[in-house]
Amino acid sequence: MNDIFKINSVTEYNNMVGQETLHPLVSDIDFSKLQPFYDPDIHTHYSKTQLNVYAIFLKDIKCGSMTYGIQNYDYEEGTLLFISPGQVFGVEGDIKNESLSGTALIFHPDLLRGTTLGKHIDDYTFFSYEVNEALHLSSRERESINECFKNINYELQHAIDNHSKTLIVSYLELFLNYCKRFYERQFITRSHVNKDILVRFENVLKDYFKTDLPIDLGLPSVRYCAEKLFISPNYLGDLLKKETGKSAQEHIQQKMIDVAKAKIFDTDKSVSEIAYELGFKHPQHFTRMFKKSVGMSPTVYRTFNEN
């Protein structure tokens, strides 16, 4: 039971949960109106499901445990979870007897083809957040989200015409923009947690440059740092941007520059040797980055501080 069951379309997902397909590219599902679904062919042989569509789950009450990637997450009231195409998830517990609630919005990437939202869908980075970075809504925020769901559902109930796609995508974009705003609020209200992440991020960088990893791997990647912090790269980048105004990559480069400044005082080492220790295969790349940040080359910086 370790195989992955793949769902490639909105219709396939609707068929799995017993939802009528009103539009081939988008579906608004109210689980409380559906019978608990159990397909022995699926649930006996597959422990995970891979969605090749976008999915947004809004849970009303704490109900069961969903796995996302390799982590578990217990839903709480008013929680939004975003899944991008290709993500793997699973539901644990007795699916036969579980009473379902909440709402889901499922839409195929083809819905966005040729639209402004399609060009900017990657800007909504929370689709790549880890499950423990879900969005927790206030009651007022929940009202805004419900209104968006209601408008999308209204269009789905309406006969498909030349305006259907435009209106549905517009409401979807409004929904995602609300979510972006609410995530920014969540970054602020969880500032004490974020401060802890910033401290640990600094320690990850400090420990990295104390080892030979730069020689073997080069500068630490955002993904490397995020994995050490048990968060997603996008979440780390967005958190840093909100808290400090700088991207994760800018923080990594600044740490490298700080380490380089300390190393430059060791006159027993050439600038080329220092560049190599910091993970640069070509010293000129290090010199260019250092000069851009400090305003002078490593050699001039060394001479300037010797006088």
Instruction: Say whether 7 sits in a helix, a strand or coil.
Output: strand
pLDDT at 270 over 50: yes
Q: How far apart are CA 138 and CA 135, in angstroms?
A: 10
Strand, helix or coil for residue 33: helix
Cβ atoms of residues 268 and 262 within 8 Å: no
| Spatial distance between the Cα atoms of 24 and 28, rounded to a whole number of angstroms | 12
Residue 70 phi/psi, 5° resolution? -115, 5
Give residue 60's pLDDT band: very low, low, confident or very high (50, 70, 90): low
Confidence of residue 47 (pLDDT cuts 50, 70, 90): low
pLDDT, one tens digit per residue, over 120-179 is 999 999 998 877 788 988 888 999 999 999 999 999 999 888 899 999 999 999 999 999
Tell me the domains of the chain and their CATH numbers.
3-137 (2.60.120), 192-306 (1.10.10.60)
Band of pLDDT at residue 37, cut at 50, 70 and 90: low
